[in-house]
Structure 1
Amino acid sequence: METPTSPTPLPDRLREGLARIAAVMRSDDWRRAQELGVNPTQLAVLQCLEGRRDGMRVGDIASVLGVSQPTATDSIATLVAKQLVEKRIDSGDGRSVRVFLTPTGQAATQAPSATPGAAEAVLQALPGDDQEQMLDLLVDLIRRLQERGAIPIQRMCASCRHFRPCAHADAARPHHCAFVDAAFGQQDLRIECRDHEAADPATRTAIWAAFDRDRPPILQAP
């Protein structure tokens, strides 16, 4: 029996908390999907394709979303029928196809929601320092999931070959993006960047080591 002096293990309670938040976000996704006339999986496909100038293969979409390839295929077929996405022959491999947003699909993903989601509203209300610390923790959690092979390499700064962590002495803008040749701050770290180019494993390890050195001690990796 769990008591205040004998609680369940902390990782279990963290997982429970994340599960509660995930449930709210799923509810938000259902509402947003209904506004666009799609289901949540189809909405996830549209969001996955946003900003992908070269489109994506069906298998890659399934991998990013964590669904089976048949599920992704069915969702894409429905979105094609709705003229929200289109398939094109892969220029690098004539035997396969890539999926792209249509102009209609692009407009749908960028259209403001009629009602902000509950999770979004709560996050916006958090103090800036809390938002920044949460972003840092999310980047770390995603990195660890990547290393375990639980998710594909995400298009975030910490896995990009253009990222130069802690390259500047300016505490407000310590990092550097070589793609746009500009300094930026911790609060500007991207989880999803359309200009992302995955670094090789050795470079990712070096990037994270440099990034981790200047993090607050409570946030540093063991």
Structure 2
Amino acid sequence: MKYPSFNLNEQNQKIESRIVVALERISEAFRVLLWNESKENSLSPIQIQILIFISFHSLEKCKVGYLADEFNMTKATISDSVRVLLSKELVTKETDPTDTRSYSLSLTDEGKNIAKKASFFASSIEQPIEKLTQEQKTTMLNGLLKLIYDLNKSGVITIQRMCFTCSFYNGENGNHYCNLLKTKLTESEIRLDCPEHERIT
């Protein structure tokens, strides 16, 4: 009989279960930090996430449909959040000249100010990571990247702009190579969110 990872006996017997519970604890920390940031700005957590995303990504990715896929939400839910951000004058619409029904979102000056500050919401999680050795950091990153990749393949996580899902990536014989940059990559250089990412078709 299979038991859930949150079963204490299961945790004591399986390292996989302890890792799952540890990840859940960390995800709770992210939720708390994001919620605190959103309350400070009288916005919802997803509205803060949208502002942060827009501040670091190209216009072509800052569309309602893409944002819905990025955050694994419906277009209607994202549209509601965008409507609030527009009413608060934190974002503006950039209409596509070739298709007036399509538009991208860009930040206003006030939106940029909030996004800049809010983008540091997880800094208290980064601080203890900085104390790890380089080997520990690389091992942790490698394990998380493989976990994310498998969850993406199984459909649990949606859009990924990581090396493993990129047409420029070559991982033969355990080596990592980027055909766009024409260079070998160490395990610590594998990207999770690459601006030049082209998904394998």
Query: Which residue does 2:145 correspond to in 1?
Result: 139
Aligned equivalent of 1:180: 181
In the TM superposition, residue 180 of structure 1 has moved relative to its aligned partner by 3.4
Structure 1 residue corresponding to 2:34, chosen from 17, 29, 32:
29
Q: Which residue of 1 aligns with 2:3?
A: none
**Identity of counterpart residues, as a percentage?**
26
Alignment of 1:148-167 (within 5 A): 148-165=154-171
Note closer, same or farther for the CA distance 1:154–1:113 as it changes in structure 2 (3 Å cut).
Answer: closer
Q: Aligned equivalents of 2:104 and 2:154: distance in 1?
A: 27
Task: Show the counterpart of 1:120.
Answer: 126
Cα root mean square deviation, aligned: 3.2
Q: Note closer, same or farther for the CA distance 1:23–1:115 as it changes in structure 2 (3 Å cut).
A: closer
The answer as to 2:25 corresponding to 1:41 is: no
Deviation at 1:190, TM superposition (A): 1.1
- TM-score, with structure 2 as normaliser: 0.77
Distance 1:130 1:64, change over 3 A: same
Query: Please, which runs of 5 or more residues in structure 1 have no aligned partner?
Result: 169-173, 201-222
CA offsets 1:120-142 (integer angstroms, 9 cap, x no match):
21222221111111111111111
| 1:189/1:66 CA distance change after superposition, 3 Å | same
Name whichever structure is richer in helix by fraction.
2
Structure 1 distance, partners of 2:151, 2:39, is 30
Query: Which of the residues 50, 53, 57 maps onto 2:59?
Result: 53
Aligned letter for 1:157? C
TM-score, scaled to structure 1: 0.71
Matches for 1:40-119 after TM superposition, within 5 Å:
40-49=45-54, 50-91=56-97, 93-102=99-108, 104-111=110-117, 117-119=123-125
Aligned amino acid, residue 134 of structure 1:
M
Q: Is the 8 A contact 1:57 1:97 kept in 2?
A: yes
Query: AA paired with 1:22?
Result: S
Q: How many residue pairs end up in the alignment?
A: 194
Conserved? CA contact 1:80–1:86, under 8 Å = yes
- Partner SS for 1:88: strand
Aligned to 2:4: none
Residue 17 (1) aligns with residue 17 (2): no
Segments of 4+ in structure 1 off by > 6 A? 112-116
In the alignment, what sits opposite 2:194?
Answer: 193
CA distance in 1, matches of 2:98, 2:19: 44
Distance 1:137 1:103 in 2: 38
Partner amino acid for 2:27? A
